[in-house]
Structure 1
Amino acid sequence: MRIDRMYVESSEEPLGIDVPSPAFRWSFAGDAGRGLLQAACRIVVALSEQEAGSGTGTVWDSGFKDTRNCAQLPYEGPPLLSRTRYYWRVEVRMAAGEPLCSRVSWFETGLLHEQDWLASWMEAPASGEQAEDGAAPGALPLFRTEFRLALPVKSARVYVCGLGHYELRLNGRKVGDRVLEPGWTNYHRTCLYSVYDVTQYLQEGANAAGVLLGNGFYHVAGGRYTKYKGSFGTPKCLVQLEAELSDGSRVTLASGEGWRTAPGPLTFSCIYGGEDYDARLERPGWDRPGYAEDGGWTPALRAAAPAGKLKAQGSPPLLVRRVYHPAGYTHPRPGVYVADLGQNFAGWVRIRVRGAAGTRITLSPGELLKEDGTVSQKWTGSPYRFHYTLRGDDEEIWSPRFSYYGFRYVQVEGAVPAGVAEFYSTLGDAGLLGLEGCMIDPDMERTGSFECSDDLLNRTHEIINMAILSNAKSIFTDCPHREKLGWLEQVHLMGPSAAYNHDIERLLVKTMEDIRDAQLPGGMVPTTAPEYVVFPEPWEVFRDSVSWGAAYVLTGWNLLTLYGSRRLLEEHYGGMKAYVDYVTGRSKGYLVDYGLGDWYDVGPNGPGFTQNTPVALTETAMYYHMTEVFAGIAQLLGRGEDASFYRSLCGRIKKAFREAFFDGEACRYAEGSQTSYAMPLVLGLAAEEHEPALLAGLIEVIRRQGLRTTAGDVGHRYVLLALMQSGHSDLVYGMARQSESPGYAYQLLHGATTLTEAWDGPTVGKSQNHFMLGHIEEWFYAGLAGIRYRFDPATEGFALDLRPAFPEGLSYVRASHRLPCGTVRVGWEKSGSGQLTLEADVPVNCTAELRLPASSADAVTESGSPLREAQGIRCTAWEDGCAVLRLGSGSYRFHSTL
């Protein structure tokens, strides 16, 4: 056994930390014995690798602390210095066994103080030129400067913020592989900067730096399709390069005086409308030393700083992580070709072309096709397109930089794909030598895997994850085309589903920060964060809804239970409290009668506003839930008076809820929709004596409706949880497999490759790439595999509750999930003769309770031995035909007779 992964602020060896008290985390791996728990740990931080390696904490030595916590231990040493690399090591004492010592890792701080910034913001002179298609005036600018380094470079960092987006270049090379930098924010409150190690980009002697700017969400001027049109200012950038030379001397290059600017070949860029690039306007060599300026270069102007405070970007950077190729092209009409990439995703295209200078290629991406075979953008925002104008070289390669879309198909005009009979020479068009679809998603680690014997469930798992990844950018978006807005309900409702598959901690942290920046002075949390679109009357229902705003409290709680992060609760306590108080103040007798309710449920009308469940029921239930969670947060943080007040408030909300919605004679809430049965059951609003009848009512209505879901964006998660928690996963399995509209199987049978916005999206239209209805992903892990877990502040460790389900028709399930401390795995297989084999791996520093079905205790063996003889296992009860087993860390192989 060994200490494996080491993190600071949830990143391995991060550059640019600007948190005053960063959190340390580590995991365990290797051949672990059973029942191993961390008893104490010691962290040392030093300024050299040698000192840390020898256990000398010249900066900070925590001393041994008696704690099981390995998920979030804060730095408690003297104030950290800017632009400094710190080395750290952890020693762990186990409750039994040999002590462990980690390797040496490191983290590096950013610019922690305003005075550390020597650079000035700069922008280009205003241009009056008008782009094509009525786009915003002027080509986007280039900035450049040259500088000399007298000696070889020992180490170099660059700190950069370009608004809305930027590409940084040094000596003719793009710095790094990140795209769409920096992350989106409310730029009046926060502007994110990034830090790069550029040691290998610099050279002794002459050097050159260049920056391209794009508009992003900072400057949405329109010209084509827009959901939001507004501006925080015109594009600008801030660059500070610091190099340590071989003799120890330091050199700083700062944006401002001496930098030059000129219009670039990017003639149009809109986060909603697309991007145009004219390769004839390129300025070859502009980002290299020794460039002889052509016309159009002028001194860069000093720009007013944006209102937002500079902050190091902590969310994972966006990368091109997958590439798709078309199987072929259709030719729906003369001069028009359509590529099918076979997968709906979010990103852009990359093309290889050859043709005459001035030939213009139009690329129109889309999710669906029209009846005539051309690309449709009906549901995704139109017009959106990419234009590329050739410079006339033998072969040219191009992809956009600052705009992306959700699509599966690409319509090509102005170029003929290679291999097509009338190849470009006959029409004067360019030759399309290659086309690729480049998927963009965050550089976040995969933490989970799931598969089972039912391919329909495996494919459902795949389309949900494609939708999650397509909508994970620097925020969780609703869709990657029409809106690209950070609607908040999906963050807390789908957060556990996403977390089973990927490490989303840093994205959740940014979500909390975006909510803080969006919160109104009176406490209201808008439905979207950052709030780019403000919905005025009569559409204010789209701005203020508890099931959306509750994300502030519930995402904070998820950060604790999923990742052990307590600091975020302390940092955002005041804002969370203000929101609960705002909702209380706006409620009427503790009922919330406004908001969106169970959005996109299934009824006689098309998808949209709730049809089955009163808005007040859904919104009041969520009000109760977040208030109860907030009372627990207050208790955890030692704010006893607040805890007592909000617990009392919960009682008043529950009483008002029952009086308003509970029908005692029928034993149901409201008219008995799936959502109105499930939410009170799961959230604790139902009286205990009524729970059996309510559950029976939920099951009866689902069966009466042919195992079809009628719940929407909010309620569906609670329907699945109510069934899973009560032992009715067989019913969930049936709902997942029924192939008539609406449902997951219906989407797959009608060609969906990502989860759609509406339950019957492939046939009804709307977005074909939404993740808001993907709650069954949580059931795959927590229900079928039974992997349920939470960080327990009392023990400072993760507790596993392993309760797999074994629906008739499934023969095996295999799943894994990497917790902050290590990986848990559960796999089971059953035979037709009633034999069950279940394997489980419990990580070091975890405890688990496993419910194992069996005909009797004597019918259970572990690794071939009778249960009573197995090491590290304690049978604590026998309930409902299951042995309840207490497990420590280790690998287990159980065999039982059902």
Structure 2
Amino acid sequence: MAPIQIAAQWTEGRQCPLGLDARSPRFSWSFGASPKHARKQTAYRIVVGTTENGSDAWDSGVIRSAAHTSIKYEGAALQPRQRYYWRVTVWDEAGEPAESPTAWWETGQLSESGWTGRWIGEPEAHAEEQGMPQFRREFRLSGPFRRARAYISGLGHYELRLNGSRVGEYELDPGWTNYDKTVQYTVYDVTSLLQQGENAVGISLGNGFFHVPGGRYTKFKDSFGHPRCRMDLVVEHEDGRTETIGTDGSWTVSASPLTFSCIYGGEDYDARLEQAGWDQPGYAEDARWSPAAEVEAPEGRLLAQPAPPLKVMRRFALTGVTQPKPGTYVLDLGQNFSGWPEISVSGPAGAQIKLIPAEILTEDGLANQKWSGAPYELNYTLKGDGVEVWRPRFTYYGFRYVQLEGAAPVGQAGAGAVSGLPVLHAIIGQMIYPDTPVVGGFRSSDEMLNRIHEVIDWAILSNMKSVFTDCPHREKLGWLEQVHLLGPSILFNYDVEALFGKVLDDIADAQTEDGLVPTTAPEYVVFKEPWQMFRDATAWGGTYVLTAWEVLQRYGSGALLERHYDGMKRYIDYLTSSADGLIIRGGLGDWYDIGPEGPGFAQNTPVPLAETAIYYGLTVVMGRIASLLGHSDEADVFASLAASIKEAFNGEYFDSGKRMYAEGSDAALAMPLAIGLAPEEHRAHLLESLVRNIAGRDYQTTAGDIGHRYVLLALSRAGRSDVIYRMTRTTDKPGYGYMIANGATTLTEAWDGPTVGKSQNHFMLGHIEEWLYSSLAGLDYRFRPEAGRMEVIVKPDMANDLAWAEAWYDLRAGRASVRWERGEGGSITLAAEIPVNADGLIYVPAEAADKVRGGGTSSELLRFKDGYAVYRTGSGSYTFTSRLQESMTR
């Protein structure tokens, strides 16, 4: 029998990361598929060294354990700017060893004392002049070198250049943070860009969120200071010497061609101001250059960027051109997304081209920024040198259309040398999001469901940046409720362990002294009275607790729970101290539900009901976290508090005579059911009332941003996916089907977004993605801390009209998958893959246990209940066939 195989390795949730400031990083590994069933890890040994086959940093020794996630490094003190290699040997159930490939990570600067370079900026006399700054320095390298790294932070964002070439593919670096608390830097391998002899380095800056000057549209106008940068370029020579070229007063600075830079308002670029060769050695500086100033450091601590960088990940070609009025063209890229257009143009020097991106068009066919923040524009002034290629560097927007002024697309009348009008030769839409692996997929026989899955995915990607924004244009703020409500939806598709860690660090930085967790992090906009509800809402602040718990359940990593436990406790204390008789009276409640007043403030459900239900759920989870971390006394306190909240909640909102919560809205019924507040003896009636509500509106729910996920959870956990499925079929009332039928290419802000307006690219209502994977296809999973392993739950809740559905996910143990399909005469085939070192719990739909075939000797029938034969399995591939009576399907 072949030993088990290691498939992938992670350090701090990333594979071979370049630049970590973690002093005790966590290791995880997954397993390759095995044809044999019930394969397990029984022991492991981790070896870490400063050479590829070395062990001089740490040898864990043989640990008898199935654990393979979040194993803490406990070796020698890590040194800055050092590459460490690690490998793991695992032993299987037969005692056979298998060794992993060698993985690595590199440490960053680790501390302030590791830096040589100073923060530099423009001299004070020039700081308010038009044009963003660009910095340069020439240096000489004598003798051969083996390795070179650039450690750089440029605020708000930067572009690094060496010897005439751009360094790397990262966009909008560093990630945005509360710069008074945390500033991030990035690490690049620049070995191949340097040369013996003369070299030149250049840095261009944009304002980003560090400095929002206004002048056009802004969500907020504020500043942490003027743009500045810091870099250490560290070169290791073959003879053992280390040479550092750091930023300081020996650098020079001039205005760049970027004459306007605003993360909200756009960019202006005058190509006539380009200085050819400024980023190459031998450039002759003129009067435009002056010595750079050494400036004060930002207040925040400088840390290596922990999350994957943004990159241009997808590109969109032109699909159509219209001319709604003379001289104005509208270019259609076919898909709403977030990023920027890249243009190829030619024309005379000084000609100006204006680009106005937009999600939708006016009745006249022009770009419409009414709901996405106006004015946002991109202006390019030509230098008159053949075909010029340009795109913005330090701003982005959500759009599908680009209104073109000052030029004509190639082939259009009026373009060209005779008229003097510049020619647009090409336009490409460039979409940016983190370079994070795709780890899951869903498909079914129903194209409506597939399309819903796709538009939610587009919305997730459009709003996944260095924070999770609600929309990629009007706000670009990290509204927090989506992170926990949509957390499973995100996790089923993308590996975001490191990014979720960054979000929690942002929350910690945003938490106030009294324990409040604001609704956005970083908190750039502080909402004050009378708009306090936009700052203090439990479903938003509760992300601090619920996301850390979700990371444990999905990735098997308790590191975030340990790091943020005290902060999470302070938030629960804040809620308790601000509650009125354990009822949270303020907040936003079920934001953006469907009611007579149009989308916005909650209309159907009392705000305190929704806020207090979340408060209860947070307290229950905190009890579990405290118990897991060994704080048994505090776990008892949280359990007692949760019981008291439950009593107060039901006393205020549950009418036992009517068996109803409040006025019986969808959210009012579903949240107590899903969160565990509803009395057991009344649950069946409450569920019936919820189903009756939805069916009475022809299978439409009125729940909004907060309540909708709990509607889906209440229905799916009760086996009523038939109701959810019918909800997706409705196309004449606001909902998912309505969005698709009315042309949405991304998830919209409002249920009737394509017709009512608002943002056309939000992901706050995408909760059904979780149902597609975990209920309809039937693939879910949880980490079991007591076992140190994952448990994969396969339990399809089949919609009657569906012929088949499938889903797969690369969890930390390896690939899990499911596919079920209907055959003739009520037959069902269910195929599932359980990864090595994971346990399986497979629910096979059947009319009786004796109607099930397959599974083999490695599957144990536990019980037959509620139309499922339930099997316990180990790892491996399993196929079951069964038969369903027609009466068992809805």
TM bucket by the smaller chain? over 0.9
Letter in 2 for 1:16: G
Query: Which of these residues, 273, 279, 285, is aligned with residue 277 of structure 2?
Result: 285
Q: Tell me if 1:896 matches 2:882.
A: yes
310-319 vs 423-432, which moves further: 423-432
Q: Tell me if 1:21 matches 2:24.
A: yes
Contact 1:813 1:827 survives alignment (8 Å): yes
Letter in 1 for 2:649: F
Number of the residue aligned with 1:258: 250
Number of the residue aligned with 2:888: none
Number of the residue aligned with 2:377: 385
Separation in structure 2 between the aligned mates of residue 751 and residue 452 of structure 1, nearest angstrom: 21
Q: Quote the offset at 1:564 in angstroms.
A: 1.1
Q: Quote the offset at 1:505 in angstroms.
A: 1.1
The correspondence of residues 470-489 of structure 1 with structure 2, limited to 5 A, is 470-489=462-481
Letter in 2 for 1:257: G
Separation in structure 2 between the aligned mates of residue 82 and residue 243 of structure 1, nearest angstrom: 14
1:706-752 CA deviation, whole Å, 9 max, x = no partner?
11110000000000011110101111000011112211010011010
Number of the residue aligned with 2:171: 179
Number of the residue aligned with 1:635: 627
Separation in structure 1 between the aligned mates of residue 249 and residue 766 of structure 2, nearest angstrom: 52
Number of the residue aligned with 1:39: 42
Contact 2:807 2:819 survives alignment (8 Å): yes
Number of the residue aligned with 2:116: 118
Number of the residue aligned with 1:241: 233
Separation in structure 1 between the aligned mates of residue 131 and residue 119 of structure 2, nearest angstrom: 19
Letter in 2 for 1:760: D
Letter in 1 for 2:68: C
1:355-383 CA deviation, whole Å, 9 max, x = no partner?
00000000000000001111000000000
Q: Quote the offset at 1:831 in angstroms.
A: 2.2
Query: Which of these residues, 843, 850, 871, is aligned with residue 885 of structure 1?
Result: 871
Q: Quote the offset at 1:559 in angstroms.
A: 1.1
Number of the residue aligned with 1:552: 544
Q: Tell me if 1:49 matches 2:52.
A: yes
Q: Quote the offset at 1:96 in angstroms.
A: 3.0
Number of the residue aligned with 1:316: 308
Separation in structure 2 between the aligned mates of residue 236 and residue 881 of structure 1, nearest angstrom: 64
Separation in structure 2 between the aligned mates of residue 499 and residue 649 of structure 1, nearest angstrom: 31
Contact 2:236 2:242 survives alignment (8 Å): yes
Contact 1:496 1:778 survives alignment (8 Å): yes
Query: Which of these residues, 668, 675, 681, is aligned with residue 673 of structure 2?
Result: 681
Q: Quote the offset at 1:690 in angstroms.
A: 0.9
Number of the residue aligned with 1:194: 186
Letter in 1 for 2:881: H
1:634-687 CA deviation, whole Å, 9 max, x = no partner?
111111111111110001100000000001111110000000111101111011
Contact 2:33 2:836 survives alignment (8 Å): no
Structure 1 residue matching 2:408: 3-state secondary structure: strand
Letter in 2 for 1:390: L
Separation in structure 2 between the aligned mates of residue 116 and residue 637 of structure 1, nearest angstrom: 34
Separation in structure 2 between the aligned mates of residue 137 and residue 186 of structure 1, nearest angstrom: 26
Separation in structure 2 between the aligned mates of residue 759 and residue 551 of structure 1, nearest angstrom: 23
Number of the residue aligned with 1:818: 810
Number of the residue aligned with 2:441: 449
Letter in 2 for 1:370: T
Contact 1:47 1:59 survives alignment (8 Å): yes
Number of the residue aligned with 2:887: none
Q: Tell me if 1:62 matches 2:60.
A: yes
* Aligned sequence identity (%): 53
Contact 1:448 1:502 survives alignment (8 Å): yes
Separation in structure 2 between the aligned mates of residue 427 and residue 697 of structure 1, nearest angstrom: 69
Q: Tell me if 1:4 matches 2:2.
A: no
Structure 1 residue matching 2:231: 3-state secondary structure: strand
The correspondence of residues 87-486 of structure 1 with structure 2, limited to 5 A, is 87-96=85-94, 98-126=96-124, 137-486=129-478
420-429 vs 626-635, which moves further: 420-429
Separation in structure 2 between the aligned mates of residue 530 and residue 496 of structure 1, nearest angstrom: 22
Contact 1:525 1:544 survives alignment (8 Å): yes
Letter in 2 for 1:35: A
Structure 1 residue matching 2:830: 3-state secondary structure: strand
Structure 1 residue matching 2:526: 3-state secondary structure: coil
Letter in 2 for 1:406: G
Q: Quote the offset at 1:581 in angstroms.
A: 0.3
870-879 vs 366-375, which moves further: 870-879
Structure 2 residue matching 1:781: 3-state secondary structure: helix
Query: Which of these residues, 728, 739, 752, is aligned with residue 731 of structure 2?
Result: 739
Separation in structure 2 between the aligned mates of residue 179 and residue 320 of structure 1, nearest angstrom: 7
1:45-99 CA deviation, whole Å, 9 max, x = no partner?
1111132xxxxx2211101112211121010112111111111110001123632
Structure 2 residue matching 1:490: 3-state secondary structure: helix
Contact 1:122 1:301 survives alignment (8 Å): yes
The correspondence of residues 786-801 of structure 1 with structure 2, limited to 5 A, is 786-801=778-793
Letter in 2 for 1:713: D
Number of the residue aligned with 2:489: 497
Separation in structure 1 between the aligned mates of residue 503 and residue 810 of structure 2, nearest angstrom: 22
Q: Tell me if 1:72 matches 2:64.
A: no
Q: Tell me if 1:532 matches 2:524.
A: yes
Number of the residue aligned with 1:565: 557
Change (3 A) 1:127 1:398: farther
Contact 1:518 1:530 survives alignment (8 Å): yes
Letter in 1 for 2:508: R
Aligned length: 881
Q: Quote the offset at 1:423 in angstroms.
A: 2.3
Separation in structure 2 between the aligned mates of residue 240 and residue 251 of structure 1, nearest angstrom: 10
Q: Quote the offset at 1:25 in angstroms.
A: 0.8
1:789-811 CA deviation, whole Å, 9 max, x = no partner?
11111111111221111111100
Separation in structure 1 between the aligned mates of residue 170 and residue 867 of structure 2, nearest angstrom: 53
Letter in 2 for 1:346: S
Separation in structure 2 between the aligned mates of residue 87 and residue 431 of structure 1, nearest angstrom: 53
Letter in 2 for 1:458: N
Q: Quote the offset at 1:426 in angstroms.
A: 4.7
Structure 2 residue matching 1:692: 3-state secondary structure: helix
Structure 2 residue matching 1:272: 3-state secondary structure: coil
Contact 1:782 1:804 survives alignment (8 Å): yes
Q: Quote the offset at 1:832 in angstroms.
A: 4.2
Structure 2 residue matching 1:457: 3-state secondary structure: helix
Separation in structure 1 between the aligned mates of residue 212 and residue 176 of structure 2, nearest angstrom: 13
Contact 1:153 1:202 survives alignment (8 Å): no
Number of the residue aligned with 2:571: 579
Contact 2:359 2:399 survives alignment (8 Å): yes
Contact 2:152 2:231 survives alignment (8 Å): yes
Separation in structure 1 between the aligned mates of residue 419 and residue 824 of structure 2, nearest angstrom: 65
Separation in structure 2 between the aligned mates of residue 194 and residue 32 of structure 1, nearest angstrom: 42
Contact 2:79 2:107 survives alignment (8 Å): yes
301-310 vs 876-885, which moves further: 876-885
Query: Which of these residues, 656, 680, 688, is aligned with residue 696 of structure 1?
Result: 688
Separation in structure 2 between the aligned mates of residue 881 and residue 404 of structure 1, nearest angstrom: 51
Give the TM-score of the pair, scaled to structure 1: 0.97
